Amino acid sequence: MLELRPSCENCQKPLPPASTEARICSFECTFCASCVDDLLQNVCPNCGGGFTPRPIRPAASLARHPASVVVVHKPVDLEEQRKRIERWGGQDPAKR
Ligand SMILES: [Zn+2]
Ligand SMILES: [Zn+2]
């Protein structure tokens, strides 16, 4: 089950469960769409994988299985991210 983390790991933009701006990697590292598109260029700073839009959990299910309230705040090291993008940017995540 996805944790549905409450905010962008980098910029802390709130990403409530119904947000269409939430993006996750296969480990559920969670960022907002603009961080993924502009800053990360679809390269996860933690695992090197790509991102996908986070599915929206219907309200009825959310009542029984609430979203996480644990904030993960790990601002991206821009220099390290530049190297990751050099290595993986523009590559299909399946081929990284
Ligand atoms: Zn962000
Ligand atoms: Zn990741």
Residue 74: per-residue pLDDT: 97
Residue 92: per-residue pLDDT: 96
In total, the chain counts a number of residues equal to 96
Sheet holding 30-32, edge to edge: 30-32, 22-24, 52-53
34 CA → ligand 2 middle, Å? 16
78 CA → ligand 1 middle, Å? 13
Residue 7: per-residue pLDDT: 98
Q: Model's pTM, two decimal places?
A: 0.95
Residue 41: per-residue pLDDT: 97
Whole-angstrom distance between the N-terminal and C-terminal Cα of the chain?
Answer: 26
49 CA → ligand 2 middle, Å? 6
Residue 48: per-residue pLDDT: 96
Mean pLDDT per 10-residue interval, the chain, length 96 residues? 98 98 98 98 97 97 97 97 96 95
